């Protein structure tokens, strides 16, 4: 019975009961809900599908295959660790929002049709914004508003695309829009208008270049615990959807390449370490998008595996920065440093997360990222392969070194705080354990992947090459620091595409408003002047001396009467 | 593995400097040794880097005795590739991978390039911290 309901529904509906538990218990309630949901999901039979007839339309509300399974599972794991991480939070509405958000993301990746997907898609948007607003500041409120507008726009595009697609094909089934099998590739030109809109919707949520900036804008403004939730679901739901709907779309390779590159440059100069992590997240999504674009079984396996590992180590990194935020009150690099003395365990966990994302052998990033890079190699895509190597060195820079170094080492800020609370440490320990466990014993992960694989990440050549890349990148860091060439952290705002809608558009609108006001006032002045002139003329004419007001002679009256009669006579004969 | 994360500057004068802060040079030395180690490892394992296009590492055993049956290896490799779209192996896909220390140089150069690009980008996009609030 429970298996006929969309997975995650337990969390969505259960969340509505959390307020009745009171402030203290609602956190535990959230943990129980996510665990129960995992048990229900775990016992769901393979290849499970449920169809519901609504308004004469068959909706495939549950479809669990290998793609849904791996994403559903990791979403559950992320929800559970994030719930443990948030156990100390007494703000019930954050727990409610977190559960609805996670639950709807899980339901979305198990949706078999576009309408169910749309409903869950919008639910993730509307629920998650409360995790940003919960911060309570004016900045967070505005940032959350921008986030909501962009996310809802993505949903509207998805719905429009789905309707057009339905009109064209008569089908709402969510499957590859190009009809491609793994290993085949298609171009964007082959897409109809409906799927194109859907691609843009996925692109917004997946933070494609130029559509990305909601991510770096909003995530650093979430609460310490809320951002851990945020980092796991929205973007990976987009990755899942892209893999499901657009695997093998060639343009995605280049979109993905751009995504891996530009964030690493922005991350170098960003001062807010949670924003550095948001750029880093964007860069990691790039790897996955490249994998989807390549579209071979190996590449798609790599994408799924990378999403799985990424959710865990990215949560871990956001958790470590959340712990810093919780204790110190800021994640600005200029205010931090030397925290390894007072937060040693958080330091170790952060470094494990940093090592995992950088792809050190024996940690989870290595066994997943290498699949995507190898897939590019197998397809003989040299430039893609080179770009992914550059991006790997870039990951080492911003997440492997910059995050741990500036938060926990570097200049001692003199701040001596308490170690993170026990529940945060427990959540980080679980995530760290997963990072190491997957890195060492990767077979269970590989067995879960969408396609069967015999990929072997630990070959001598591969391990040595990876070590060379990462160790020499670290050496470059030491060299730049010693030579004083590494850019100092500066309190600053770095412009990104959000400048367009936060500065350019408002200014443009202000200028247009000014122009309209100017034209309007000129027009008014001119009209008033004309009316005034007319009135002047009228009053002058009607005055005692004016030509209308003055007394006229009898002869002129007789003359005009004669003229009038004459005109009348002529008109009569015509 | 993450010795490079520990390169704190060690200019702490507050008196409660940690072991890491007092021994930055040890950490850096460790990193340099690890770097050299990774290059030496490549020399030792050089034969693996020379393998091309899907040569199986798990057939290495048969490789060692000197019997070199190229055709059967190739067939095997092709079979693997077509079978699961992957292989068990890490093949050298591009000739450049066989260049000694390629990844080392590449890692170093890419890192420096990214940092310099970032520094340059500051000139264009950096504003006051309260830029959007003003």
Q: How many domains does chain B have?
A: 3
> Same domain, yes or no, for A226 and A256?
no
Task: Please check whether residue A425 lies inside any domain of the structure.
Answer: yes
pLDDT at B31: 94
> Same domain, yes or no, for A79 and A180?
yes
**Nearest CB to A455: which of B86, B92, B127?**
B86
> Same domain, yes or no, for A229 and A259?
no
Q: Report in angstroms the alpha-carbon separations of A306 from A6, A185, A301.
A: 25, 21, 8
**Nearest CB to B1: which of A355, A371, A409?**
A355
Task: Please check whether residue B131 lies inside any domain of the structure.
Answer: no
**Nearest CB to B107: which of A361, A380, A469?**
A469
Point out the least confidently predicted range of A51-60, A90-99, A403-412.
A51-60
> Same domain, yes or no, for A309 and A324?
yes
Which residue in A has a C-alpha nearest to residue B81's C-alpha? A378
pLDDT of B84 > 50? The answer is no
Q: Select from A47, A493, A461 the least CA-distant residue to B92.
A: A461
pLDDT of A19 > 80? The answer is yes
Q: What distance in Å separates residue B64's CA from the closest CA in chain A?
A: 15
- Residue whose token pair is 């958000």: A101
> Same domain, yes or no, for A135 and A231?
yes
The answer to whether A220 and A227 are in contact (CB under 8 A) is yes
CB atoms B38 and A471 under 8 Å: yes
Radius of gyration, alpha carbons of chain A: 32
| CB contact set of A261 (below 8 Å; sequence gap of 6+) | A283, A286, A387, A390, A391, A394
Task: Please check whether residue A540 lies inside any domain of the structure.
Answer: no
**Beta strands A493-494; B126-127: pairing state:** antiparallel
pLDDT of A315 > 90? The answer is yes
pLDDT tens, residue by residue, B13-49: 456 788 888 888 899 999 999 999 999 998 888 776 6
CB atoms B114 and A397 under 8 Å: yes
* Buried-state track A312-337, b at ≥16 Cβ within 10 A, e below 16: bbbbbbbbbbbbbbbbbeebbbbbbb
A354 shares contact with chain B (CB less than 8 Å): yes
> Same domain, yes or no, for B85 and B105?
no
Q: Sorting pLDDT into bands at 50, 70 and 90, what band is B133?
A: confident
> Same domain, yes or no, for A363 and A233?
no
Q: What is the mean pLDDT of chain A?
A: 93
State the Cα–Cα distance between residues A284 and B103, nearest whole angstrom: 20
CB atoms B103 and A460 under 8 Å: no
* Buried-state track A452-491, b at ≥16 Cβ within 10 A, e below 16: ebebbbbbbbbbbbbbbbbbbbbbbbbebbeeeebeebee
At B41, phi and psi to the nearest 5? -60, -40
pLDDT of B69 > 80? The answer is no
Q: Select from A202, A230, A198, A6 the least CA-distant residue to A108.
A: A6
State the Cα–Cα distance between residues B11 and B15, nearest whole angstrom: 10
pLDDT tens, residue by residue, A172-189: 999 999 989 998 999 988
Task: Using an 8 Å CB-CB cutoff, list chain A residues near B105.
Answer: 472
* Percentages of chain A per state (helix, strand, coil), in multiples of 5: 75, 5, 25
pLDDT at B85: 40
Q: Sorting pLDDT into bands at 50, 70 and 90, what band is B59?
A: very low
A459 shares contact with chain B (CB less than 8 Å): yes
**Nearest CB to A338: which of B12, B58, B92?**
B12
pLDDT at A474: 94
What is the rounded average pLDDT of the residues B46-55?
55
**Nearest CB to A409: which of B8, B31, B97?**
B8
pLDDT at A48: 74
Q: Which two tokens stand for residue B82?
A: 């077509």
CB atoms B115 and A496 under 8 Å: no
Q: Sorting pLDDT into bands at 50, 70 and 90, what band is B73?
A: very low
Q: Sorting pLDDT into bands at 50, 70 and 90, what band is B99?
A: confident
What is the rounded average pLDDT of the residues A93-107?
95
pLDDT at B19: 84
pLDDT tens, residue by residue, A111-150: 999 999 999 999 999 999 999 999 999 999 999 999 999 9
| CB contact set of A538 (below 8 Å; sequence gap of 6+) | none
pLDDT at B55: 41
pLDDT tens, residue by residue, A377-394: 999 999 999 999 999 999
pLDDT at A412: 86
pLDDT of A65 > 70? The answer is yes
Task: Using an 8 Å CB-CB cutoff, list chain B residues near A467.
Answer: 34, 38, 41
Q: Sorting pLDDT into bands at 50, 70 and 90, what band is B70?
A: very low
Q: What percent of chain A has pLDDT over 70?
A: 100
State the Cα–Cα distance between residues A143 and A138, nearest whole angstrom: 8
pLDDT tens, residue by residue, A432-476: 999 999 999 999 999 999 999 999 999 888 899 999 999 999 999
Q: What distance in Å separates residue A44's CA from the closest CA in chain B?
A: 27
Q: How many domains does chain A have?
A: 2
Task: Please check whether residue A46 lies inside any domain of the structure.
Answer: yes
> Same domain, yes or no, for A197 and A262?
no
Domain of residue B7 covers: 1-44
Domain of residue A415 covers: 250-486
pLDDT at A42: 92
A145 shares contact with chain B (CB less than 8 Å): no
CB atoms B115 and A486 under 8 Å: yes
A163 shares contact with chain B (CB less than 8 Å): no
Point out the least confidently predicted range of A340-349, B81-90, B116-125.
B81-90
What is the rounded average pLDDT of the residues A549-565?
88
**Nearest CB to A265: which of B12, B42, B118?**
B118
State the Cα–Cα distance between residues B116 and A485, nearest whole angstrom: 8
Q: What distance in Å separates residue B54's CA from the closest CA in chain A?
A: 9
pLDDT tens, residue by residue, A261-289: 999 999 999 999 999 999 999 999 999 99
A19 shares contact with chain B (CB less than 8 Å): no
> Same domain, yes or no, for B80 and B103?
no
Q: Which of A197, A213, A247 is the last residue of a domain?
A: A247
Query: Which residue would you say has higher pLDDT here, B23 or A154?
Result: A154
> Same domain, yes or no, for A212 and A316?
no
Q: What distance in Å separates residue A392's CA from the closest CA in chain B?
A: 8
Task: Using an 8 Å CB-CB cutoff, list chain A residues near B118.
Answer: 265-269, 487
pLDDT of B74 > 50? The answer is no
pLDDT of B56 > 50? The answer is no
A269 shares contact with chain B (CB less than 8 Å): yes
What is the rounded average pLDDT of the residues A311-330?
95
Q: Which of A427, A456, A486 is the last residue of a domain?
A: A486
3-state secondary structure of A113: strand
Task: Using an 8 Å CB-CB cutoff, list chain A residues near B110.
Answer: 389-390, 393-394, 473
Query: Which residue would you say has higher pLDDT here, B61 or A352?
Result: A352
Q: Which of A247, A275, A293 is the last residue of a domain?
A: A247
CB atoms A461 and B90 under 8 Å: yes
């Amino acid at each position: 019975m429970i298996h006929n309901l969309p997975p995650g529904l337990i969390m969505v509906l259960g969340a509505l009961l959390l307020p009745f538990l009171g402030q203290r218990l609602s956190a535990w309630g959230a943990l129980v809900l996510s665990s129960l949901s995992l048990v229900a999901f775990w016992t769901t039979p393979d290849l499970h599908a449920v169809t519901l007839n609504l308004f004469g339309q068959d909706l495939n509300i549950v479809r669990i295959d290998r793609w849904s399974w791996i994403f559903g599972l990791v979403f559950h794991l992320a929800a559970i660790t994030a719930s443990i991480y948030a156990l100390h939070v007494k703000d019930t509405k954050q727990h409610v929002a977190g559960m609805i958000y996670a639950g709807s993301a899980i339901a979305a990746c198990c949706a078999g049709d576009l309408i169910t997907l749309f409903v869950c898609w919008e639910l993730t948007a509307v629920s998650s914004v409360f995790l940003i607003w919960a911060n309570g500041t004016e900045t967070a409120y505005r940032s959350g508003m921008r986030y909501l507008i962009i996310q809802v726009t993505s949903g509207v595009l998805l719905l429009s695309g789905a309707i057009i697609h339905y009109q064209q094909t008569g089908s709402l089934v969510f499957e590859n829009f190009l009809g491609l099998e793994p290993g085949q590739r298609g171009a964007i030109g082959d897409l109809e208008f409906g799927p194109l809109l859907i691609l843009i919707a996925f692109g917004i949520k997946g933070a494609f270049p130029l559509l990305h900036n909601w991510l770096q804008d909003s995530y650093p403004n979430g609460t310490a615990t809320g951002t851990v939730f945020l980092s796991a679901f929205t973007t990976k739901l987009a990755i899942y959807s892209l893999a499901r709907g657009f695997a093998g779309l060639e343009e995605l390779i280049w979109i993905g390449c751009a995504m891996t590159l530009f964030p690493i440059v922005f991350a170098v100069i960003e001062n807010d370490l949670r924003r550095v992590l948001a750029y880093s997240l964007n860069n990691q999504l790039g790897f996955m998008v490249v994998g989807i674009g390549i579209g071979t079984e190996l590449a798609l396996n790599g994408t799924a595996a990378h999403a799985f590992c990424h959710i865990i180590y990215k949560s871990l990194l956001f958790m470590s920065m959340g712990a810093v935020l919780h204790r110190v009150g800021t994640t600005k690099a200029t205010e931090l440093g030397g925290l390894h003395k007072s937060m040693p365990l958080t330091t170790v966990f952060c470094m494990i997360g940093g090592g995992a994302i950088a792809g050190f052998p024996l940690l989870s990033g290595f066994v997943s990222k290498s699949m995507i890079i190898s897939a590019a190699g197998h397809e003989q895509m040299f430039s893609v392969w080179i770009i992914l190597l550059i991006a790997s060195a870039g990951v080492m820079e911003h997440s492997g070194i910059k995050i741990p170094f500036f938060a926990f080492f570097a200049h001692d800020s003199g701040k001596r705080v308490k170690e993170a609370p026990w529940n945060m440490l427990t959540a980080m320990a679980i995530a760290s354990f997963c990072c190491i466990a997957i890195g060492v014993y990767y077979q269970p992960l590989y067995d879960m992947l969408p396609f069967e694989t015999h990929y072997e990440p630990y070959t001598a050549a591969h391990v040595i090459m990876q070590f060379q890349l990462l160790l020499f990148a670290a050496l470059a860091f030491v060299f730049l620091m010693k030579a004083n060439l590494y850019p100092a952290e500066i309190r600053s705002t770095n412009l990104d595409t959000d400048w367009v809608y936060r500065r350019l558009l408002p200014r443009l609108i202000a200028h247009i408003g000014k122009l309209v006001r100017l034209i309007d006032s000129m027009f008014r002045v001119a009209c008033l002047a004309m009316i005034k002139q007319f009135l002047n003329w009228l009053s002058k004419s009607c005055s005692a001396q004016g030509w209308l007001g003055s007394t006229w002679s009898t002869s002129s009256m007789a003359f005009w009467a004669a003229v009038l009669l004459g005109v009348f006579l002529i008109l009569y004969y015509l | 593995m993450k010795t490079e994360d520990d390169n704190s500057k060690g200019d702490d004068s507050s008196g409660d400097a940690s072991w890491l802060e007092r021994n930055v040079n040890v950490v850096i030395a460790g990193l340099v040794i690890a770097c050299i180690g990774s290059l030496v490892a490549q020399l030792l394992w050089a034969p693996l880097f020379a393998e091309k296009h899907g040569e199986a590492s798990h057939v290495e055993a048969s490789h060692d005795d000197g019997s070199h049956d190229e055709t059967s290896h190739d067939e095997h490799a092709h079979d693997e590739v077509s079978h699961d779209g992957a292989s068990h192996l890490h093949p050298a896909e591009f000739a450049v991978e066989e260049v000694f220390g390629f990844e080392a140089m590449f890692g170093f150069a890419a890192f420096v390039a990214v940092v310099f690009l970032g520094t340059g980008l500051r000139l264009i996009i950096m504003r006051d911290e309260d830029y959007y609030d003003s």
